[in-house]
Amino acid sequence: MWMSLQGAAPAVPDGPERSDAVRRAVQLRWADVDALGHVNNVAYAAYFEDAHRAFLEDGLAVTRQAVTYLRPLMFGTGATIATRAWVDPSPQEPVVLAELCEEGTGSPRVHARSRAVLGSPPSRSQGERPSVAPIVVERGHHLRVAVRVADLSPRGDVADTAVFEFLQEARIALMAEMDLEPTSTVVAQKDVHFHRPAPEHWESVEMWSWVSRIGNRSMAIDSVVASGATIVARGSSTLVFFDARAQRSVTPPESVTRALRSWQL
């Protein structure tokens, strides 16, 4: 669940249509929506995963992705929603940029942006994969989640959107441990590194989470998703403390800061 950052940040610029962008219509579903009628941030990841399909040729996969959440997207407004994706020609490595837009008269209204780095997923026999650091196992918040068939990609590894969902589960579980309401913060950005391939058989994943940064009005929660001691993905969520009534960012009370420090690594 997340809400608008308007009032806490400068207005988000909306750009004109790009001639090189691949447009894909987005049909919102009831399952994409939270109790307040906002589209969940994991659903944004699903929309962007669909947008990446046009660029995932010759065995390429997303190796890193950053999603910036700009405006809340409401369900049931009747607006036309679409993604626009294109290749960034600047970097040496393949990068796909994408926007989630509300279309209408004039320039599209951008609700989120994504930057995805593409690469070749390693084979199962291609060396060792990263393992969970002992300090993370010892001091991080632990959560085990069962893997569903729907969480797996056609390659047999965990799908990109499922990784975003696992990271959300891990983040909310840690916030509950600190007695923080999810609605007291808004998700501003998620940065995810995908470590592939996955084991051939899945039953569950284990996740460890911790507070990696504490700011005056924001914080970051980092998590690793693992199969046993082998890291499948890692992610960082930047959260802004938010007053829903005043519609602005706020400084958390000292009690919240103390709780954050108790989980900081």
**Total domains, the chain:** 2
pTM above 0.85, yes or no: yes
Examine the fold and report which residue of 67, 102, 120 is the final residue of a domain before the chain moves on. Answer: 120
* CATH code for the domain of 212: 3.10.129.10
Q: How large is the greatest C-alpha to C-alpha distance in the chain, in angstroms? A: 54
Do residues 131 and 262 share a domain? Answer: yes
Please tell me the predicted confidence (pLDDT) of residue 1. Answer: 39
**Alpha-carbon span 81 to 71, nearest angstrom:** 13
Helices (H) and strands (E) in the chain, counts: 4, 11
User: Do 145 and 256 fall within a single domain?
Assistant: yes
Examine the domain organization and report whether 109 and 147 are in the same domain: no
Q: Which of 120, 135, 153 is the last residue of a domain?
A: 120
Q: Per-residue pLDDT for the chain (265 aa), expressed as one digit of tens each?
A: 343 333 333 334 555 566 788 999 999 999 999 877 889 999 999 999 999 999 987 778 999 999 999 999 988 888 899 999 999 988 788 999 999 999 976 788 999 999 999 998 765 545 567 889 999 999 999 999 999 999 988 877 889 999 999 999 999 999 999 998 877 899 999 999 998 665 566 789 999 999 999 999 999 999 999 988 889 899 999 999 988 788 889 999 999 999 999 999 9
Please check whether residue 48 lies inside any domain of the structure.
yes
Residue 263 is classified by DSSP as T
Cα–Cα dist 248/80, whole Å = 28
- Which of 78, 96, 120 finishes a domain? 120
- Does one domain contain both 141 and 244? yes
Crossing angle of helices 160-177 and 41-52, in 10° steps, is: 160
* 47-71 per-residue burial string, b: 16 or more CB within 10 A, e: under 16: bbbbbbeebeeeeebbbebebbbbb
Whether 3 maps to a domain, the answer reads: no
Question: Has residue 7 been placed in a domain?
Answer: no
pLDDT at 126: 53
CA gap 82, 243 in Å, rounded: 30
Range of the domain at 32: 13-120
